[in-house]
Amino acid sequence: MPEFLQHLANAVILGGTYALLGIGLTLIFGIMRVVNFTHGELYTFGAYMAFMLAGMFGLNFFASLALAATLGMALGALIEFALLRPLKGADIDTTMLVMIGAGIAMQAGEQLMWGGVAKSVPNPFPTEPVVLGPVSVGPIRLFVLAVAVVLLVVFYLLLNRTKLGIAMRATFQDPDTAALMGVNNGLMYTLTFAIGSGLAAVAGALLGPIFVVTPTMGDLVALKAFAIVILGGLGNIPGATIGGFVLALAEEFGAGYLSSGYRDAMGFLLIIAVLLVRPQGLFAAKERIG
Amino acid sequence: MTARLLPWLFVAFMAVLPLWMHDQYILYVLTSTGIFIIAAMSLNLLLGYTGQLSLGHVAFFGIGAYTSALLSLGFDLDLGGAEPFVLDPQPVWIAFLGGILMAAVFGWLIGRLAFRVRGAYFVIVTISFAQVMRMVALNWVDLTEGPMALNNIPPLTVWWPGEGFVPLYSKEHYYLLVLAVGVLSYVIIHRLVQSRVGRALIALRENESLARSVGINVTRYLVIATVVSAGMAGAAGGLYTHYIRIVDPDIFMFIYTVTMVIMVITGGKGTLAGPVVGGLLFGFLPEVLRDVARPEVQWIIYGAVMIVIIFFLPQGIVPAVGKLFSRKKKHPRHDARTPTAPRITEGASS
């Protein structure tokens, strides 16, 4: 039983960052229909920014976190503006291939700039774990979970309670009608991509002190983000949140009780299973596939 | 007339190349490029002729490589019974054919399962399949040796009168073998796309509901295409593994699929010559860049070239050159045999 609770605690903490990645991608995939292969690179970018600001320049960790998010948003906006906007109207395969090209170039850029040696972001918290009954958790992990939950709530409110959020959802449902109502579709696309990218960068920066930072760290993460999006259903924000936690639970318990070597395979097995049994995602009511 | 002779002139040129080209390094690059061209041709059958982007194609390549390597090395496997299952080393060509067969079987399986979904979903299922294969290769250490890799894989052989089967150790001979398999693959794809099957595939690429409405069994033809494509990719994998004589789980890396996709897109998807042209370009680009740029810079250039080509030559090099050629002749030719890919300008659903 204590072992079970420990796995559960680990899964919940991991699930928070997965949810951040998932909602970022589900927006981009859902609203813009872009199969975004730069998502993992933005995650890596965020982690490197945290390393550079906190580790090299000695900036406060929390300030570097905010800066990493902002820079991630800026980079996302740049990608949208330079690569996706000119391709408007192209089919999904074309934009996907452009994003693959961009992802390759970005990863090589990270390698060029910071080298292949793993870096680590200094941990601002005491390393002594917090013991809660049978479960012990590092303070940094609790902080990661707290930030993830706060961001999820803020994001949910943004989308449902603000004019901007309504405009974004309108663009998602029907871009033409939204445009007739005075919504600037182009701006919505840029903002959506920037926000999604910012969330990925924050996730990377948050995990920087827990894991190590390498140029290829985004590869698996990007694929996992797709798994989360598909689990939750395309463009479904609560779905992606739950999907993030489902994937974390599957990985944590799969690794704990089945085989730790197949930890990273769980996401892919889930994708295959979900798409074959319930291709519209676990939580989506209506979505035409293909 | 010239257009029909051109491929054979090219083959003849490539066949006599080792007579005067003795640079071992260039032969090595040509051989590995040739193996990737075969893989790219097999991908083109799916991507170019059926319009389905499979980003897990390297799985078939890797399955062919691993199966061929394991059969030629022999293995023993504890299946839970009293006696472990033991397989003695098989002749390399039997192993090679076994690799093709195994890849084709997986092609059938994936075709049956994955074509229930289309578009981005199909892409993600295929990526997931390749990733799961990589995990299996990493973790099933009893069979695959995991990250320690399978070593000392025997080279392919050739039958020579009076001497029997001789292992192919020389670069010239392996190069010629790859060329022969490449020509065979080209001919198979050429025959296939001109047949009834090929016309059905092109019909469903252009308009799937219309194809369905005229009675084309879409799933059946997609599965046929996937089986042929997977078997061919498996052959490429077998050639690769018996050439470099070592295989590890990195063979399933996403970047290899991307390389194949770039070759097809650059050369021109849905054209017979496209993967060859794109393959030669991207096979030699890293070698040309090697002296002037660091590997990271090479990859940046790789990514940038990919973006530039999709922006400015969305149909690829071969159709673009063909268009230039027919414009000079003042009357554009409509050759049913070399369908170009008009899908790129289709409006998106959003």
Instruction: Say if residues B27 and B12 touch (Cβ distance below 8 Å).
Output: no
Instruction: Say if residues B276 and B38 touch (Cβ distance below 8 Å).
Output: no
If we measure between CA atoms, which residue out of A209, A206, A185 comes closest to residue A46? A206
Q: Quick one: pLDDT band at residue B228, thresholds 50, 70, 90?
A: very high
Q: What is the value of ipTM here, to two decimals?
A: 0.82
User: Is B30 within a domain?
Assistant: yes
Whether residue B350 and residue A32 make contact (CB cut-off 8 A), yes or no, is yes
Instruction: Say if residues B301 and B293 touch (Cβ distance below 8 Å).
Output: yes
pLDDT tens-place string over residues B63-75? 999 999 999 888 8
User: Is B336 within a domain?
Assistant: no
pTM above 0.80, yes or no: yes
Q: Mutate which of A78, A95, A96, A97 to test chain B, going by most B C-beta atoms within 10 A? A: A97
Instruction: Say if residues B265 and A97 touch (Cβ distance below 8 Å).
Output: yes
User: Is B117 within a domain?
Assistant: yes
Return the pLDDT at A282: 67
How crowded is residue A186: how many other Cβ atoms within 10 Å of its Cβ? Answer: 14
Nearest CA in chain A to B301: A105
Closest-CA distance, B344 to chain A, in angstroms, reads 6
Whether residue B121 and residue A275 make contact (CB cut-off 8 A), yes or no, is yes
Q: Enumerate residues 6+ apart whose C-beta is below 8 A from A203.
A: A17, A20, A21, A24, A43, A46, A148
Residue A191: strand, helix, or coil = helix
Return the pLDDT at B2: 63
Whether residue A97 and residue B139 make contact (CB cut-off 8 A), yes or no, is no
The rounded distance, in Å, linking the Cα atoms of B188 and B296 is 38
Who among A109, A262, A290 is closest to B139 (CB)? A262
Return the pLDDT at A283: 65
Tell me the average pLDDT across B125-129. Answer: 86
Residue B165: strand, helix, or coil = strand
Q: Which of residues 132-171 of A touch B (CB under 8 A)?
A: none
Tell me the average pLDDT across B243-272. Answer: 87
Nearest CA in chain A to B306: A101
Say how many Å lie between the first and final Cα of chain B, rounded. 44
Residue B76: strand, helix, or coil = strand
Return the pLDDT at B350: 38
Per-residue pLDDT tens listing for chain A (290 residues): 778 888 888 888 889 889 988 988 988 887 778 888 899 999 999 999 999 998 888 888 889 999 999 999 999 999 999 998 888 777 777 888 899 899 989 999 999 988 888 888 888 888 788 887 778 888 888 888 899 899 989 988 888 899 998 898 888 888 888 889 888 888 998 999 999 999 999 999 998 888 888 888 888 888 888 888 888 887 788 888 888 998 999 888 888 787 777 788 887 888 788 877 776 666 655 544 44
State both tokens at A230: 């598909």
**How many domains does chain B divide into?**
1
Q: Which of residues 178-237 of A touch B (CB under 8 A)?
A: 219, 223, 226-227, 230
The rounded distance, in Å, linking the Cα atoms of B73 and B66 is 10
- Interchain CB contact of B59 with A (< 8 Å): no
The rounded distance, in Å, linking the Cα atoms of B317 and B336 is 19
Instruction: Say if residues A107 and A44 touch (Cβ distance below 8 Å).
Output: yes
Query: In terms of residue numbers, what domain contains B126?
Result: 23-254
The rounded distance, in Å, linking the Cα atoms of B174 and A116 is 35
pLDDT tens-place string over residues B6-52? 888 888 888 888 777 778 888 888 998 999 999 999 999 988 888 88
Query: Is it the case that residue B95 has pLDDT exceeding 80?
Result: yes
Instruction: Say if residues A115 and A49 touch (Cβ distance below 8 Å).
Output: no
State both tokens at A135: 């479960």
User: Is B170 within a domain?
Assistant: yes
User: Is B348 within a domain?
Assistant: no
Amino acid at B74: G
Q: Quick one: pLDDT band at residue B234, thresholds 50, 70, 90?
A: very high
Q: Does an H or E element contain B220, and which?
A: helix B218-244
The rounded distance, in Å, linking the Cα atoms of B191 and B194 is 5
Who among B118, B258, B344 is closest to A90 (CB)? B344
Whether residue B131 and residue A107 make contact (CB cut-off 8 A), yes or no, is no
The rounded distance, in Å, linking the Cα atoms of A171 and A95 is 19
Q: Helices A185-207 and A61-79 meet at what angle, rounded to 10? A: 140
Whether residue A90 and residue B348 make contact (CB cut-off 8 A), yes or no, is yes
pLDDT tens-place string over residues B296-319? 888 888 889 889 988 888 888 888
